[in-house]
C-alpha cells in the first residue's frame, strides 16, 4: 500500500523533469546507485519517449526502500531549479532584542529538526531541507485528510530562508494551515512576530534581492556589485585631442542632444545601469481626492477621497518604468512612488493625501 | 532667435532637411531611409524633438532648406507638441518649405482626435500633408522619396520651379459638404 503511493508520487515528480535534466538531478538525489545512473544516461541518449524513460528509472530505483521523504527530496530538487513557476510572497520576522544573543539558529539540520518537531504538534508532515547558494530551501508536505488530499499540490508549501536575515519567502499556503505554520516558524527561529510584507511575485531571486538588498538598489547597486572603478591600471589609453574638422563627419545631427543627455542622466541616477529585479505586478490603491479637474470640472466640488486602483503588469515592470522615461513618454524626474519602487521592498502601495496638521482657516 | 530661411547662405550642392517629431516616433529610421537614396548632392538630416532649436548649435547649423513635422495620429502628446512647435517656426518656411507627415493615419479606431483637426492644422499653416508609415521598409522609402522631391524644389535644384510655385498651385484640404 505504501509503496504504490510512493510510486505514484515518484512518477509524478519525474514526469515534470526535462530530458536533459534527468541525469544531473538524479545524481544529486543520490537514491539511485551509480551503476544504474550510467544506464539512465544511455537511455536518455537513445531519445526514447519520456514515459519510457520514467518507467526505466522507476524500475531502477529501489522502490521497496524509498520513502515519501526521498520523493519529497527529489521534488525539492526540481523546484530549486525551476523557482519561477510559483507565486511567492515575502514575510518579515521580528525578534525581541533579548532573544538575539541567547538563541541563534546554528545549522540547517538543527533548524530542520526543530521546525519538524514544532510542526508535528499540529499535523503529520514531512519536511526536507536543502541548501542552495546561501539560502535554505524547505519543502513541507502536510499529510492530513484523505489519500487524495495528501497527494494534492495544495498541501505542499515551499519556503526559502536566508539565514541571519529577517525574511522568509513562501509559496502559497492554505488558510487553514497558515496559522500553524507561522507559529511553528516563530518558535523554531526564536522570533516574536511574523508578518506579510506587501511584496509578491514569481521570480524568486528578484524578490530575495529586493527584500535583502533594499538599501542598495538603483544607483547604489553598482557599489554592491563592485563595479566602481578603483584600479588605476584599468583606465583605457588616453585619447589625443583632435582638432574639430570643417567637414561635418555625420550626416544625421540631433539638435536636442543636451536634453537627451540630461534625461539619460536622470534615469541613470534613479535606476542605475544594472538590470532591475523582476517584478510582475505593481499595484497602487489611490485614496486621494480627485485630481483631474481640467477634464471633469464638475468634480472639483467633491472633496471626499476618490478610490482608484492602478495596476502595472508585465514580465519586468521595473525595466518597463525605466524605459518609459527613456522613450520620452513621461516627464522626468519620475515621482517618488514610481522611481523608488526598487528601494521600498513592496509592490502593493496605498497612496493617500497628506493629513493637514493645522485646522483649516475659515 | 529662431532660424529663418534666408538668414544664412546656402552651401554648394548640399540640402539640409530638418525632422521635428516626438521622441520615439522614428525620426532616425526616416533619416536612415533618406540617406540611403543616392542623390547627386550631399544631404544632411537634422532631427529635433521640438522647436525652437537650442541656441548653442545655431553657429554650426547650416541653412535649413526643408522642415518636416512628424506627428502620430494615435498619440495625443505628439499632436500637441507638433502644434506648439509649428507656432515657433518662422513664417517664411510656410511658403512651400515645410510639410506635415501624419503617421498611423489608417488605423481609424486608434485615433485620439478627429482627422479634421489634423487637416485643420495643415490648412491653418497652408502646408501640404503627407500620410505614411515608418514601420514597413517600402513605405519608409516611399515617404523618403516624396520628402526628397520637395526638398530638392526648396533647395533650388529644380530649374524654374520654386517652392512658391508649388505652394500657389496646390489644393487645400477643406472638403465641401457632401451634396
A27-84 pLDDT, tens per residue? Answer: 777 777 777 777 777 777 776 777 777 777 777 776 667 777 778 888 888 888 888 8
- Confidence (pLDDT) at A44: 73
CA distance A258 to chain B (A): 9
- Confidence (pLDDT) at A362: 39
A90-122 pLDDT, tens per residue? Answer: 898 888 776 666 667 778 888 888 888 888 888
Strands A167-171 and A193-201, sheet pairing: unpaired
Q: What's chain A's average pLDDT? A: 80
The answer to whether A253 contacts chain B (CB < 8 Å) is: yes
- Confidence (pLDDT) at A246: 52
Contact across the interface for A255 and B53, Cβ inside 8 Å: yes
Mean pLDDT value across residues B88-117: 88
| Among A248, A252, A329, beta carbon nearest to B47 | A252
- Confidence (pLDDT) at A138: 87
Give CA–CA dist A131/A168, Å, rounded.
14
- Confidence (pLDDT) at A1: 41
DSSP reduced 3-state for B179 = coil
Residues shown for chain B: 179
Enter the pTM of the model: 0.74
Give CA–CA dist A100/A327, Å, rounded.
49
Domains of chain A by start residue, with CATH: 4-66 (no CATH), 85-211 (3.60.90), 214-223+258-352 (3.10.20.720)
How much of chain A exceeds pLDDT 70, in percent? Answer: 86
What is the interface size between A and B, counted as CB pairs within 8 Å?
A: 47
Work out the angle at residue B67's Cα, subtended by the Cα atoms of residues B77 and B96, and round it to the nearest 5 degrees. 120
Cβ neighbourhood burial of A309 (10 Å; 0-12, 13-18, 19+): exposed
Contact across the interface for B46 and A256, Cβ inside 8 Å: no
Q: Return the C-alpha torsion angle A172, A173, A174, A175, nearest 10.
A: -110
Mean pLDDT value across residues A177-193: 85
- Confidence (pLDDT) at B24: 80
- Which chain A residues have a beta carbon less than 8 Å from that of B31? 251-252
CB A93 within 8 Å of CB A189? yes
- Confidence (pLDDT) at A311: 92
Neighbouring C-beta atoms of residue A314, cutoff 10 Å? 14
The values of phi and psi at residue A44, to 5°, are -65, -40
Domains of chain B by start residue, with CATH: 14-170 (3.40.50.300)
| Among A251, A252, A259, beta carbon nearest to B49 | A259
Beta bridge partners of A350: A285
- Confidence (pLDDT) at A275: 85
The values of phi and psi at residue A68, to 5°, are -60, -30
Work out the angle at residue B38's Cα, subtended by the Cα atoms of residues B33 and B43, and round it to the nearest 5 degrees. 75
Angstrom CA distances, A199 to A32, A82, A138, A216, A237, stand at: 39, 20, 20, 17, 46
- Which chain A residues have a beta carbon less than 8 Å from that of B22? 328
- Which chain B residues have a beta carbon less than 8 Å from that of A260? 23
Contact across the interface for A253 and B44, Cβ inside 8 Å: yes
CA distance A90 to chain B (A): 38
- Confidence (pLDDT) at A40: 75
Mean pLDDT value across residues A250-274: 84
- Confidence (pLDDT) at B173: 59
Give CA–CA dist A43/A48, Å, rounded.
7
Tell which wins on pLDDT, A232 or A138: A138
For residue B46, what is the nearest residue in chain A, using CA coordinates? A253
CB B35 within 8 Å of CB A251? yes
Judge whether residue A244 has pLDDT over 50. Answer: yes
Judge whether residue B3 has pLDDT over 50. Answer: yes
Mean pLDDT value across residues A198-221: 87
Mean pLDDT value across residues B128-150: 91
- Confidence (pLDDT) at A361: 43
Judge whether residue B109 has pLDDT over 90. Answer: no
For residue B55, what is the nearest residue in chain A, using CA coordinates? A255
How much of chain A exceeds pLDDT 90, in percent? Answer: 1
Q: Is the ipTM of this complex over 0.85?
A: no
In terms of C-beta distances under 8 Å and separation of at least 24 residues, what long-range contacts does A127-131 make, across chains too? Answer: A128/A69, A128/A72, A128/A73, A128/A76, A130/A73, A130/A76, A130/A77, A130/A80
- Confidence (pLDDT) at A276: 86
DSSP reduced 3-state for B83 = helix
- Which chain A residues have a beta carbon less than 8 Å from that of B29? none
DSSP reduced 3-state for B67 = strand
Neighbouring C-beta atoms of residue B174, cutoff 10 Å? 9
Number of H helices, E strands in chain B: 5, 5
Does A183 sit behind a cis peptide bond, omega within 30 degrees of 0 on the bond before it?
no
**Region of poorest pLDDT, from A139-153, A285-299, B28-42:** A139-153
For residue A186, give the H/E element and its range.
helix A175-189
Local confidence band at B147 (pLDDT 50, 70, 90 cut-offs): very high
Judge whether residue B60 has pLDDT over 50. Answer: yes
Tell which wins on pLDDT, A224 or B178: A224
Q: Which residue has the cell 519567502?
A: A169
Mean pLDDT value across residues B108-115: 86
Does A110 sit behind a cis peptide bond, omega within 30 degrees of 0 on the bond before it?
no
CB A86 within 8 Å of CB A77? no
Cβ neighbourhood burial of A294 (10 Å; 0-12, 13-18, 19+): exposed
Cβ neighbourhood burial of A344 (10 Å; 0-12, 13-18, 19+): middle
Contact across the interface for B35 and A252, Cβ inside 8 Å: yes
Q: Which residue has the cell 533650388?
A: B156
- Confidence (pLDDT) at A360: 43
DSSP summary character for residue A37 = H
Judge whether residue A279 has pLDDT over 60. Answer: yes
Mean pLDDT value across residues A274-281: 87
Q: Which residue has the cell 546507485?
A: A33
Strands A252-254 and B42-48, sheet pairing: parallel
- Confidence (pLDDT) at A3: 66
- Confidence (pLDDT) at A249: 52
Local confidence band at B138 (pLDDT 50, 70, 90 cut-offs): very high
Contact across the interface for A255 and B44, Cβ inside 8 Å: no
Strands B66-72 and B98-103, sheet pairing: parallel
Instruction: Please enumerate residues of B whose Cβ is less than 8 A from a Cβ of A.
Output: 18, 22-24, 28, 31-32, 35, 42-50, 53-54, 56-57, 61, 77
**Beta strand segments in chain A, E:** 88-94, 125-132, 135-142, 156-161, 167-171, 193-201, 252-254, 281-288, 306-313, 348-352
Q: SS3 for A196-253, per residue?
A: EEEEEECCHHHHHHHHHCCCCCHHHHHHHCCCCCCCHHHCCCCCCCCCCCCCCCCCEE
CA distance A292 to chain B (A): 17
Contact across the interface for B35 and A251, Cβ inside 8 Å: yes
Q: What's chain B's average pLDDT? A: 86
Beta bridge partners of A349: A284
Amino acid at each position: 500500500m505504501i509503496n504504490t503511493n510512493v510510486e505514484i508520487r515518484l512518477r509524478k515528480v519525474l514526469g515534470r523533469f526535462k530530458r536533459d535534466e534527468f541525469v544531473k538531478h538524479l545524481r544529486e538525489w543520490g537514491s539511485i546507485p551509480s551503476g544504474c545512473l550510467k544506464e539512465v544516461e544511455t537511455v536518455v541518449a537513445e531519445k526514447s519517449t519520456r514515459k519510457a524513460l520514467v518507467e526505466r528509472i522507476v524500475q531502477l530505483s529501489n522502490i521497496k526502500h524509498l520513502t515519501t521523504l526521498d520523493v519529497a527530496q527529489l521534488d525539492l530538487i526540481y523546484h530549486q531549479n525551476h523557482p519561477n513557476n510559483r507565486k511567492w510572497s515575502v514575510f518579515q520576522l521580528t525578534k525581541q532584542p533579548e532573544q538575539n544573543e541567547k538563541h541563534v539558529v546554528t545549522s540547517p539540520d538543527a533548524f530542520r529538526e526543530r521546525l519538524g518537531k514544532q510542526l508535528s504538534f499540529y499535523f503529520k508532515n514531512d519536511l526536507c531541507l536543502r541548501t542552495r547558494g546561501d539560502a535554505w530551501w524547505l519543502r513541507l508536505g502536510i499529510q492530513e485528510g484523505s489519500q487524495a488530499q495528501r497527494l494534492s499540490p495544495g498541501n505542499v508549501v515551499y519556503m526559502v530562508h536566508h539565514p541571519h536575515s529577517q525574511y522568509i519567502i513562501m509559496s502559497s499556503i492554505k488558510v487553514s494551515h497558515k496559522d500553524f505554520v507561522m507559529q511553528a516558524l516563530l518558535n523554531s527561529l526564536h522570533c516574536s512576530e511574523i508578518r506579510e510584507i506587501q511584496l509578491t511575485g514569481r521570480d524568486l531571486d528578484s524578490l530575495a534581492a529586493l527584500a535583502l538588498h533594499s538599501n542598495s538598489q538603483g544607483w547604489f547597486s553598482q557599489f554592491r556589485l563592485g563595479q566602481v572603478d578603483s584600479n588605476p591600471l584599468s583606465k583605457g589609453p588616453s585619447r589625443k585631442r583632435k582638432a574639430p574638422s570643417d567637414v561635418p563627419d555625420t550626416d544625421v545631427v540631433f539638435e536636442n542632444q543636451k536634453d537627451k543627455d540630461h534625461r539619460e542622466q536622470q534615469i541613470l541616477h534613479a535606476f542605475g545601469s544594472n538590470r532591475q529585479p523582476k517584478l510582475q505586478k505593481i499595484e497602487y490603491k489611490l485614496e486621494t481626492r480627485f485630481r483631474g479637474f481640467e477634464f471633469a470640472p464638475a468634480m472639483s466640488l467633491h472633496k471626499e477621497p476618490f478610490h482608484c486602483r492602478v495596476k502595472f503588469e508585465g514580465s519586468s515592470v521595473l525595466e518597463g518604468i525605466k524605459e518609459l522615461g527613456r522613450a520620452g513618454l513621461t516627464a522626468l524626474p519620475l515621482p517618488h512612488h514610481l522611481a523608488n519602487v526598487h528601494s521600498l521592498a513592496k509592490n502593493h502601495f496605498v497612496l493617500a493625501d497628506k493629513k493637514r496638521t493645522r485646522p483649516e482657516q475659515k | 532667435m529662431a532660424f529663418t530661411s534666408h538668414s544664412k547662405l546656402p552651401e554648394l550642392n548640399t540640402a539640409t532637411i530638418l525632422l521635428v517629431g516626438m521622441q520615439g516616433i522614428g525620426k532616425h529610421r526616416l533619416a536612415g531611409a533618406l540617406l540611403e537614396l543616392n542623390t547627386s548632392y550631399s544631404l544632411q538630416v537634422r532631427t529635433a524633438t521640438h522647436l525652437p532649436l537650442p541656441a548653442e548649435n545655431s553657429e554650426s547649423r547650416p541653412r535649413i532648406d526643408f522642415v518636416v513635422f512628424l506627428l502620430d495620429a494615435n498619440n495625443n502628446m505628439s499632436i500637441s507638441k507638433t502644434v506648439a512647435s509649428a507656432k515657433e517656426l518662422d513664417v517664411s518656411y510656410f511658403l512651400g518649405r515645410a510639410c506635415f507627415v501624419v503617421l498611423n493615419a489608417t488605423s481609424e479606431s486608434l485615433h485620439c482626435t478627429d482627422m479634421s483637426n489634423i487637416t485643420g492644422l495643415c490648412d491653418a499653416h497652408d502646408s501640404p500633408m503627407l500620410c505614411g508609415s515608418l514601420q514597413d521598409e517600402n513605405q519608409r522609402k516611399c515617404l523618403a522619396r516624396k520628402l526628397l522631391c520637395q526638398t530638392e524644389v526648396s533647395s533650388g535644384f529644380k530649374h524654374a520651379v520654386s517652392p512658391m510655385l508649388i505652394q500657389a498651385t496646390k489644393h487645400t484640404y477643406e472638403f465641401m459638404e457632401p451634396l
